[in-house]
Amino acid sequence: MRLTKKLLGLLVVTIMLSMVLAACSGDSTNELVIANSADAVSLDPAGSNDVPSSNVAANIYESLVAQDQNMELQPSLAVSWELVEDTVWEFKLREGVKFHDGSDFNAEVVKANIERVLDPDIGSPRAFLYSMVTDIEVVDDYTVRFTTEFPFSPLPAHLAHNGGAMVSLKVIEEDYAAMEDGEDPGSVINEKPIGTGFFKFDEWVPGQQIKLVRNDDYWGDKAKLESVVFKVVDEDLTRVAELKTGDSHISDPLSPSDVADIEETDGVHVNRQSSVSLSYVGFNMDKAPFDDARVRQAINMAIDKDQIINGIYDGNGVPAVGPLAPDVFGYDPDVPGLEYDPDKARELLAEAGYEDGFSTTLWTNDNRERMDMATNIQAQLKEFGIDVEIEVMEWGAYLEQTAKGEHDMFILGWSTVTGDADYGLYALFHSNNVGDPGNRTFTKDPDLDALLDEARQTPDPDDRAALYREIQELLAEIAPMLYIHHQEFLLGVSDRVEGLTQDPTGVLQLQNVTLKEE
């Protein structure tokens, strides 16, 4: 049969349309699709302190220092560093590195980035990471010196945090110019997140997905994938269904309740990674009755954490006695915590004037385990006359409102990403960090502040460890939180995915990931 010109034209259009639809469907054999429980809050490294944002940013940007799977520091954009004086660190930078916009990485860029994080006009929730830095000196194009207010041995670890990720100087200057025109800090960087990483930003459809593409001009070993899509799939079971059908290759996170299902399904498996994370219930110490330590201690003693860990998390993780995970420097296994003791809990409530209980609210985001935890805590506290109303909130609003102190009790997590107690304690409990930086319990204790300040200013590791023991003992008295557990990170992963690793901080390492053909 002969094709007319009209039919031939229609056939060509149909073929082209099919190709476009296939490309748009994310069906590329070299595109990794990650189903995430929440969207990023910001792609500006100075703009947020949440895991979904960090997971994306870790592929776009790089910091001076990196951490390996054992939380050991490794060179990244800096090739070496040394303490040249008690309060002066010198970093030698990698030469020949280009940003995604073609601009050069050098010492001026480092100075501009860290000064921007510290700029009060930016209002970065990560400013506490570098608050001890008093001067940044450009020695030459590839040498930079940091002077600190006091000896601060964790500085290289803090510079491994993605809060110290390097953004193109051109984009930083554009962002400041936009601020002069009335735009919010980070508005330009969010639209044009330009780093030096092995992936480049392609698009962000808020509430739906973020797409990154391979940086073929990367200074080191190039990513093996052509592209990565971080897709927002907030329902646990939907993420599992997408993993099974192949619509997604990774479910992040995987609910402990779904582990058995994945283990019994061909073509997918469970990835487990021990963590430096903490899950906790925080109390707003600015609000009654949580302004009374006896009430906070009583709730700690009223809750049987084994019900939560075994019943909701299927035994996944290590029970938390305090805020620090066992692999974090400064953790002390001998510090006593507030053990489950219902009789003592009732006694403390009576002393505080709440023998008959009280009414309160417990906030959580729409994470299945956290919602189940809230329901469990609600039931347990009812036995003490405490009437708990549960409120489930969208992630962005949840972070914003807990930062403002509009909550009573709340469920959240924290990961000590530097592997050092300073990050796991100073951010969560120092009065300087109330709100967005991490202190959502609104803890304001002068003695605690003094100890936290002294610990970060003490150079000797043994002396620091002793101070952190004292801090953890004091926290048991203050009881700003009910510490639940340090859980394993769980991922549902397609068997097609090879080369995937996950840090103890929860960040996925995608540089060496490949996808086997089906």
pLDDT in tens, 122-155: 999 999 999 999 999 999 999 999 999 999 999 9
Name which of 30, 156, 181, 168 is nearest 90 in CA terms.
156
- pLDDT tens, 310-334? 999 999 988 999 999 998 999 999 9
Question: Quick one: pLDDT at residue 28?
Answer: 52
Same domain, residue pair 257 and 242 = yes
Question: Quick one: pLDDT at residue 22?
Answer: 40
Name which of 60, 72, 88, 89 is nearest 166 in CA terms.
60
Same domain, residue pair 292 and 404 = yes
Same domain, residue pair 320 and 344 = yes
Same domain, residue pair 461 and 511 = no
Same domain, residue pair 34 and 76 = no
Query: Vertex 191, ends 186 and 192: CA angle to 5°?
Result: 95
What's the number of domains the chain is made of? 3
Query: What CATH number is associated with residue 506?
Result: 3.40.190.10
φ and ψ at residue 199, rounded to 5 degrees: -125, 150
Same domain, residue pair 456 and 495 = no
Alpha-helical segments (H) within 208-324: 236-245, 259-263, 293-302, 305-311
Specify if 191 maps to a domain.
Answer: no
Bridge partners (DSSP) of residue 392 are: 364
Over residues 450-471, the mean pLDDT reads 95
Same domain, residue pair 314 and 462 = yes
Q: Is the pLDDT of residue 99 over 50?
A: yes
Quote the CA–CA distance of 60 and 79 in Å, as a whole number: 19
Per-residue confidence band for 74, with pLDDT thresholds at 50, 70 and 90: very high
Residue with tokens 């299902």: 261
Specify if 116 maps to a domain.
Answer: yes
Q: Is the pLDDT of residue 68 over 50?
A: yes
Same domain, residue pair 376 and 467 = yes
Per-residue confidence band for 285, with pLDDT thresholds at 50, 70 and 90: very high
Specify if 301 maps to a domain.
Answer: yes
Asked if residues 252 and 271 have their Cβ atoms less than 8 Å apart, the reply is no
Query: What CATH number is associated with residue 87?
Result: 3.90.76.10
Per-residue confidence band for 29, with pLDDT thresholds at 50, 70 and 90: low
Specify if 298 maps to a domain.
Answer: yes
This prediction's pTM: 0.82
Asked if residues 200 and 62 have their Cβ atoms less than 8 Å apart, the reply is no
Specify if 477 maps to a domain.
Answer: yes
* Residues whose CB is less than 8 angstroms from the CB of residue 148 and which lie 6 or more positions away in sequence, other chains included: 87, 88, 89, 132, 133, 134, 155
Over residues 69-85, the mean pLDDT reads 94
Same domain, residue pair 469 and 395 = yes
Same domain, residue pair 391 and 437 = yes
Query: Mean pLDDT lowest for which of 18-32, 162-176, 225-239?
Result: 18-32
Specify if 479 maps to a domain.
Answer: yes
112, 137, 171 - which closes a domain: 171
Per-residue confidence band for 11, with pLDDT thresholds at 50, 70 and 90: very low
Same domain, residue pair 340 and 202 = no
Burial of 287 (0-12, 13-18, 19+ CB in 10 A): middle
Same domain, residue pair 482 and 493 = no
Q: Is the pLDDT of residue 7 over 50?
A: no
Specify if 11 maps to a domain.
Answer: no
Question: Quick one: pLDDT at residue 51?
Answer: 84
Residue with tokens 């509430």: 207
- pLDDT tens, 197-208? 999 999 999 999
* Residues whose CB is less than 8 angstroms from the CB of residue 118 and which lie 6 or more positions away in sequence, other chains included: 124, 127, 130, 131, 133
Query: What CATH number is associated with residue 408?
Result: 3.10.105.10
Specify if 147 maps to a domain.
Answer: yes
Both tokens of 18, joined, read 């099919």
Domain containing residue 220: 28-39+197-273+489-515
